[in-house]
């Protein structure tokens, strides 16, 4: 075998956890439908493994499900294999899909996942009997703990897959085996290309007869020693968490605690990192020689790296908390609770998962909209998700909020900065909903899709997956966003430390300025006549009504690639433009409007900047993914222009009112 191993199964059966174990990659996993929305590729000992989106049957027509079916139909039985993953507690409904795959006669093996929960529930699956009946390997497995992996590896290494019996025959049954396979495969292929090719009664009859036959087929394979079919804990928790009043209050409380924790817990490591990098920068400037090297390292490299590292605690805590909500099964309940009021905005409870994922990053969030059945609702979700406060905005908000409020500002027991941050997150969510409502006004047809969702049992968080995912995402932020930030910081240092004018000209400007105005820094004059200074001044007339000067203009230009670049840029610019030592926040607080005693980062400017970053589309990667998902440049261009206009107008109004 030198072909591919396709991981196939219903949604939420643990395929992604298995894929992570087999390939050593860190794909996102969660306790809700639709975590995998497109195929993911990895390798197990040189063997290509492909994780496909979950699907309930070969008659599915969702966008993500079609991706899976296409890959299955492309499989070459002589070399490709299917590793079917089933939820042990839902074997009958999972085997509907398995029986369809068996009809395609591709070599397969079956993993029955959640072995631990089968034991807990007192459910026994006679694996040997099942294996004999279907004539292909069957293993009990626990993807969360990796139990059963030792038995699985030889199947993969030694190609012990086997072509199962076409054990459930339906109306497609014909006498000759080859004819049967070909007919079923071509019927499914036709349906994939044109869902009206198979009549609804034909599809229903196929699914119904498989389900009915499976009930008889499994009666001597599954034995349930426990009569308690209901999960009491889930029932009890749902009575509270889905309660019209308590459920909504608990949801708001959970959100509130998440944002309080973000600021309160992360404050200590962030302060420490800020001080360490401040001290390192001072040390580099004082001890390194020649002077240009000291400047490059002390004012360019160290503040640039510091601007990335300082946000690691906050981003890691956000990902840990979101990971816990996902893996416990609570995220599906949020979907349930939010459907009614999302409907009023032209969305449905299904959209809440992309919107919540947008808290981490808009890119996977937009990709996860494939689960939304209605095209109109999907487009709306794609267009409004970038308003949700992503982790890239977090560093920008943190630094601006810290400039507005003093240290240790509390209202009763609540950290004021945490409350302000929660406000920014609510603003992002509210804006995305209003934008969606506006979009829904342009649609004549009802935009929402049929809302149906499995509410999984509550589970304890799978800590290993939560921490692995946090590690992967934080690492991605540091090394992906960090690379961009670092490169921009270095380029900015070069642009800010060098001037198109001669040294004599600059000295003359310094002397003139110092004669006319007291308290003017030499470094500030040098920055003004640098390449970066000239760039900032080009856009200054446009941004001045928003309360920004040419220095902030440099940060705005550089952060068009990615929002978080703002922080690295501002750290670098104000390290160069100030002779003050200390942390970035201290430097920004001490920055005055030239020739006055007025602080540059006053409340009006900070609020204006907060609003600008809340609404502006400053992420090239998101625009690229919107183009990919909508298949046209029309929507990302409209999205970019609309968001930039909104950002400019909101920042302008806020600044003009606040001053």
Partner 1 sequence: MAKLSEVLSGSLIILEEAPSDTSVYKVLMAYGIFRGTQVKILRNDRWQDMILVQVKDKRVAIRKEDVKSVEVTLLSEVQ
Among 38, 44, 92, 491, binds partner 1 (CB under 8 A): 92
CA distance 12 to 87: 8
Q: Which of 202/540 has CB closer to partner 1?
A: 202
**Number of residues this chain uses to bind partner 1 (CB under 8 A):** 38
- Four-residue CA torsion sign, 129, 135, 141, 146: positive
Pull the structure tokens for residue 648: 């400019």
From residue 450, alpha-carbon distances to 196, 268, 293, 441 in Å are 19, 46, 62, 19
Among 2, 228, 411, 450, binds partner 1 (CB under 8 A): 450
Among 58, 75, 453, 610, binds partner 1 (CB under 8 A): 453
| Binding-site string for partner 1 from residue 520 to residue 559, where x marks contact by CB under 8 A and - marks none | ----------------------------------------
Near partner 1 by CB under 8 A, which window of 259-267, 446-454, 516-524, 647-655? 446-454
Nearest approach, Cβ of 454 to partner 1 (angstroms)? 5
The residue length of the chain stands at: 659
Among 208, 286, 291, 544, binds partner 1 (CB under 8 A): 208
Nearest approach, Cβ of 123 to partner 1 (angstroms)? 8
Contact 442, 380 (CB under 8 A): no
What pairing do the DSSP bridges indicate for beta strands 47-51 and 4-9?
parallel
- HEC letters along 206-268: HHHHHHHHHHHHCCCCEEECCCCCCCHHHHHHHHHHCCCCHHHHHHHHHHHHHHHHHHHHHHH
Q: Does 238 bind partner 1 (CB under 8 A)?
A: yes
What pairing do the DSSP bridges indicate for beta strands 410-411 and 414-415?
antiparallel
Q: Which of 45/120 has CB closer to partner 1?
A: 120
Nearest approach, Cβ of 348 to partner 1 (angstroms)? 8
Q: Which of 59/172 has CB closer to partner 1?
A: 59
Among 13, 17, 18, 59, binds partner 1 (CB under 8 A): 59
Q: Does 242 bind partner 1 (CB under 8 A)?
A: yes
Nearest approach, Cβ of 93 to partner 1 (angstroms)? 4
Q: Does 455 bind partner 1 (CB under 8 A)?
A: yes
Q: Which of residues 163-182 bind partner 1 (CB under 8 A)?
A: none
Nearest approach, Cβ of 453 to partner 1 (angstroms)? 5
Among 46, 244, 290, 631, binds partner 1 (CB under 8 A): 244
Pull the structure tokens for residue 655: 């600044």
Q: Which of 222/294 has CB closer to partner 1?
A: 222
Nearest to 85 by CA among 51, 122, 46, 125: 51
From residue 396, alpha-carbon distances to 51, 311, 399, 571, 613 in Å are 36, 10, 6, 11, 8
CA distance 387 to 321: 21
Near partner 1 by CB under 8 A, which window of 24-32, 206-214, 432-440, 549-557? 206-214
CA distance 447 to 449: 7
CA distance 180 to 104: 9
CA distance 380 to 369: 10
| Binding-site string for partner 1 from residue 327 to residue 356, where x marks contact by CB under 8 A and - marks none | ---------xx-xx-------xx-------
Among 230, 407, 408, 503, binds partner 1 (CB under 8 A): 230
Among 150, 175, 201, 445, binds partner 1 (CB under 8 A): 201
Near partner 1 by CB under 8 A, which window of 387-395, 409-417, 444-452, 633-641? 444-452
φ/ψ (deg, to 5) at 126: -80, 90
Near partner 1 by CB under 8 A, which window of 236-244, 394-402, 496-504, 561-569? 236-244
Q: Which of 96/284 has CB closer to partner 1?
A: 96
Phi-psi domain of 69 (left: phi exceeds 0; alpha: psi -120 through 50; beta: other)? alpha
Any idea of the CA torsion for 611, 614, 620, 621, to the nearest 10 degrees?
Answer: 170
Q: Does 595 bind partner 1 (CB under 8 A)?
A: no
Near partner 1 by CB under 8 A, which window of 52-60, 259-267, 405-413, 493-501? 52-60
Q: Which of 90/169 has CB closer to partner 1?
A: 90
Q: Which of 118/317 has CB closer to partner 1?
A: 118
Nearest approach, Cβ of 373 to partner 1 (angstroms)? 8
Nearest approach, Cβ of 9 to partner 1 (angstroms)? 14
Q: What is the DSSP string of 126-179?
A: -HHHHHHHHTS-EEE-BTTTTBTHHHHHHHHHTT--BPPP--S--TT--SSHHH
Among 38, 39, 73, 90, binds partner 1 (CB under 8 A): 90
CA distance 634 to 133: 54
Q: Does 229 bind partner 1 (CB under 8 A)?
A: yes
Q: Which of 196/518 has CB closer to partner 1?
A: 196
Q: What is the DSSP letter of 34?
A: T
Contact 349, 451 (CB under 8 A): yes
Q: What is the DSSP letter of 456?
A: P
Pull the structure tokens for residue 629: 């998902």
Nearest approach, Cβ of 141 to partner 1 (angstroms)? 18
Nearest approach, Cβ of 64 to partner 1 (angstroms)? 13
Q: Which of 130/484 has CB closer to partner 1?
A: 130
Q: What is the DSSP string of 52-118?
A: PPP-S-TT--SHHHHHHHHHHHH--TTT-EEEEEEEGGGHHHHHHHHHHHHHHT--EEEEEE-HHHH
CA distance 475 to 308: 11
CA distance 49 to 8: 11
Nearest approach, Cβ of 168 to partner 1 (angstroms)? 14
Nearest approach, Cβ of 193 to partner 1 (angstroms)? 17
Please, which residues bridge with residue 110 across strands?
84, 138
Q: Does 93 bind partner 1 (CB under 8 A)?
A: yes
Nearest approach, Cβ of 253 to partner 1 (angstroms)? 18
Nearest approach, Cβ of 622 to partner 1 (angstroms)? 30
Q: Does 89 bind partner 1 (CB under 8 A)?
A: yes
Nearest approach, Cβ of 83 to partner 1 (angstroms)? 22
By CB under 8 A, name the binding residues for partner 1: 56-57, 59-60, 89-90, 92-93, 121, 200-201, 203-204, 207-208, 211-212, 229-230, 234-235, 238, 242, 244, 336-337, 339-340, 348-349, 450-457
């Amino acid at each position: 075998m030198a072909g591919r191993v396709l991981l196939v199964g219903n949604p939420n059966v643990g395929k992604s956890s298995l894929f992570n174990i087999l390939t050593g990659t860190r794909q996102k996993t969660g306790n809700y439908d639709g975590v995998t929305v497109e195929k993911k590729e990895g390798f197990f000992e040189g063997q290509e493994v492909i994780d496909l989106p979950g699907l309930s049957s070969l008659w599915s027509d969702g966008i993500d499900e079609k991706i899976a079916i296409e890959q299955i139909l492309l499989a070459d039985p002589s070399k490709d294999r299917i590793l079917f993953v089933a939820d042990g507690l839902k074997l009958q409904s999972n085997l509907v899909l398995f029986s369809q795959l068996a009809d395609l006669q591709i070599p397969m093996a079956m993993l029955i996942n959640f072995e631990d929960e089968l034991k807990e529930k007192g459910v026994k699956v006679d694996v040997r009997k099942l294996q004999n009946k279907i004539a292909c390997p069957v293993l009990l497995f626990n993807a969360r703990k990796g139990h059963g992996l030792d038995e699985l590896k030889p199947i993969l290494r030694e190609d012990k897959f086997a072509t199962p019996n076409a054990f459930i025959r339906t109306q497609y049954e014909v006498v000759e085996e080859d004819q049967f396979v070909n007919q079923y495969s071509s019927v499914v292929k036709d349906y994939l290309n044109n869902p009206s090719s198979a009549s609804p009664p034909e599809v229903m009859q196929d699914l119904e007869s498989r389900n009915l036959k499976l009930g008889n087929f499994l009666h001597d394979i599954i034995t349930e020693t426990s009569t308690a079919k209901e999960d009491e804990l889930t029932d009890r928790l749902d009575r509270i968490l889905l309660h019209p009043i308590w459920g909504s209050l608990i949801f708001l409380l959970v959100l509130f605690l998440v944002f309080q924790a973000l600021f309160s817990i992360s404050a200590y490591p962030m302060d420490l990192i800020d001080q360490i990098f401040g001290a390192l920068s001072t040390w580099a400037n004082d001890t390194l020689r020649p002077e240009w090297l000291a400047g490059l390292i002390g004012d360019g490299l160290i503040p640039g790296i510091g601007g990335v590292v300082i946000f690691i605690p906050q981003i890691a805590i956000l990902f840990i908390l979101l990971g816990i909500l996902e893996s416990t099964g609570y995220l599906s309940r949020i979907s349930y609770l939010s459907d009614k009021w999302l409907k009023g905005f032209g969305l449905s409870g299904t959209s809440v998962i992309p919107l919540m994922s947008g808290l981490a990053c808009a890119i996977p969030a937009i990709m996860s909209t494939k689960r939304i059945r209605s095209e109109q609702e999907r487009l709306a979700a794609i267009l409004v998700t970038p308003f949700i406060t992503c982790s890239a905005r977090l560093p920008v908000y943190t630094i601006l909020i810290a400039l507005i409020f003093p240290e240790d500002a509390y209202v009763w027991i609540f950290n004021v900065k945490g409350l302000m941050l929660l406000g920014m997150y609510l603003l992002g969510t509210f804006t995305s909903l209003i934008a969606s409502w506006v979009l829904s006004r342009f649609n004549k047809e009802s935009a929402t899709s049929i809302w149906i969702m499995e509410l999984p049992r509550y589970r304890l968080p799978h800590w290993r997956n939560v921490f692995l995912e946090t590690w992967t995402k934080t690492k991605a932020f540091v090394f992906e966003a960090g690379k961009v930030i670092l490169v921009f910081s270095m380029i900015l240092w070069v642009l800010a430390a060098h001037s198109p004018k001669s040294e004599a000209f600059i000295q003359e400007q310094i002397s003139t300025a110092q004669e006319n105005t007291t308290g003017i820094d030499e470094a500030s004059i040098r920055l003004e006549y640098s390449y970066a200074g000239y760039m900032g001044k080009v856009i200054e007339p446009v941004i001045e009504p928003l309360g920004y000067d040419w220095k902030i203009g440099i940060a705005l230009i550089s952060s068009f690639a990615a929002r978080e670049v703002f922080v690295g840029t501002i750290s670098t610019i104000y390290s160069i433009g100030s002779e003050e030592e200390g942390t970035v926040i201290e430097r920004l607080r001490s920055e005055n409007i030239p020739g006055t005693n007025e602080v540059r980062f006053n409340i009006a400017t900070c609020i204006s900047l907060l609003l600008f970053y809340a609404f502006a589309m400053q992420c090239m990667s998101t625009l690229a993914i919107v183009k990919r998902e909508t298949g046209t440049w029309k929507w990302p261009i409209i999205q970019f222009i609309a968001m930039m206009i909104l950002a400019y107008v909101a920042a302008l109004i806020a600044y003009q009112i606040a001053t």
